[in-house]
Amino acid sequence: MAHISASVYTSHVPAIGAAIDQGRTQEPYWHALFEGYEFSRRWMARHTPDVVVLVYNDHATAFGLDLIPTFAIGCAASFAPADEGWGARPVPRVIGHPALASHIAHRVIQDDFDLTLVNRMDVDHGLTVPLSLMCGQPAAWPCCVIPIAVNVIQYPVPSGLRCWRLGQAIRQAVLSFGENLDVQVWGTGGMSHQLQGARAGLINSAWDNAFLDRLIAEPEALARLPHADYVREAGSEAIELVMWLMARAAMGDAVPRVAHRFYHVPASNTAVGHLILEGT
């Protein structure tokens, strides 16, 4: 049967992707940030899963205002890196896992969750930047990826608790899949940042690090944090952090081992947070 061996959490700032693509990761501005992911690249090479279930938000790339799914699962055989206005990132096509994705969709929908099924979409920096951070610049990504896109662009955004419970349902779905696959679940986005209005540039390191502490030790309580707390304390765009709860829930009840923890300010407008949790 499939199993979930680890979860990874990381910011997905587009400027990080641009720095990688342009060969600028050793510049003074970027050096310390990428140093924090060197462990992660080595870890990923040693612990390469068969499939990553990658929770992210689309940024008005695949989904505009015509169609706004709260939760969408990518069931396609592959996904193209998106053109977000600068041309598509020069990264490999993302290979999906239709069999596991369809199985997850089937089990989760029958568990009374509502997922939108996506058979074709491009994937933007929200998905490809975490892959680049963890895998470098390979000719092909080392594993399959099942995209799970969450609406955090237009309110109402799903609650932390809803993301938590969906993560639990995804865990049960993966554990019931007949093939012996090694699966990781990644939660991406955040951490504190605000890109709009007079309060743009907000960073709240104390709040971010308390979030990391609680995500590790008391995630179900953290899942009850209201949206207003994220937005007031950590910026309007910090609402992306609800997605980290989905990945954390997929780890189950056992206390995970913290393999890596990293925090760095700034990456463009954003505080970068990163965790690797291994199942015990």
Partner 1 sequence: MSFSDSALRNIPGTPLFDADQARKGYGLNQFCMSLVNPVNRERFLADPGAYLAGWPMNEAQRQAVLARDLNRCIAEGGNIFFLVKWGATLGCSVQQMVASMTGMTESEYRQMMLRGGRSIEGNRHPGEDGDAQPHHQPQGSAAGVGF
Q: Give SS3 for 201.
A: coil
- Reduce the DSSP state of residue 10 to 3 states and report it: strand
- Indicate the residue among 25 and 48 with the shorter CB distance to partner 1: 25
Least distance from C-beta 92 to partner 1, angstroms? 20
> Residue 31, interface with partner 1 (CB under 8 A)?
no
Q: Output the smallest distance, CB 150 to partner 1, in A.
A: 14
Amino acid sitting at position 157: V
Options 113-121, 141-149, 166-174, 230-238: segment touching partner 1 (CB under 8 A): 230-238
The DSSP annotation for 89-134 comes to -S-PPEE--HHHHHHHHHHHHHTT---EEESS--B-HHHHHHHHHH
Considering only the stretches 83-91, 93-101, 179-187, 216-224, report the one whose residues sit in contact with partner 1 under the rule CB under 8 A.
Answer: 83-91
Q: How many residues bind partner 1 (CB under 8 A)?
A: 45
* CB count in 10 Å sphere of residue 188: 26
Q: Which of 207, 211, 244, 262 binds partner 1 (CB under 8 A)?
A: 207
Q: Does 231 bind partner 1 (CB under 8 A)?
A: yes
Instruction: Choose, by CB under 8 A, the member of 82, 108, 145, 222 that binds partner 1.
Output: 82
Between CA 266 and CA 226 the distance in angstroms is 26
Can you tell me the distance from the alpha carbon of 54 to that of 73, in angstroms, rounded to the nearest whole number?
10
Q: Among 87, 112, 139, 178, which residue sits at the site for partner 1 (rule: CB under 8 A)?
A: 87
Sign of CA dihedral 103, 171, 114, 208: negative
By CB under 8 A, residue 266 contacts partner 1: yes
Nearer to partner 1, 64 or 138 (CB): 64
Does 280 interact with partner 1 (rule: CB under 8 A)?
no
Nearer to partner 1, 65 or 139 (CB): 65
Which tokens hold the place of 176?
A: 């019931």
Residue 178 is a binding residue for partner 1 (CB under 8 A): no
- Subset of 185-204 contacting partner 1 (CB under 8 A): 192, 194-204
Window 39-78: residues binding partner 1 (CB under 8 A): 59-61, 64-66
Active site residues: 125, 193
Among positions 119-158, residues that touch partner 1 (CB under 8 A) are 153-156
Tell me how far apart the alpha carbons of residues 49 and 202 are, in angstroms, rounded to a whole number.
35
Q: Report which of 189, 193, 207, 175 is spatially closest to residue 246, judged by C-alpha positions.
A: 189
Provide the 8-state DSSP code for 159: P
Q: How far is CA 136 from CA 123, 132, 219, in A?
A: 17, 5, 30
Buried b (16+ CB within 10 A) or exposed e, 123-149: bbbbbbbbbbbbbeeeeebbbbbbbbb
Nearest distance from residue 41's CB to partner 1, in Å? 25
Which residue, 207 or 244, has its beta carbon nearer to partner 1?
A: 207
What residue ranges bind partner 1 (CB under 8 A)? 14-15, 59-61, 64-66, 82-87, 153-156, 192, 194-205, 207, 226-228, 231-233, 235-236, 265-266, 268-269, 271
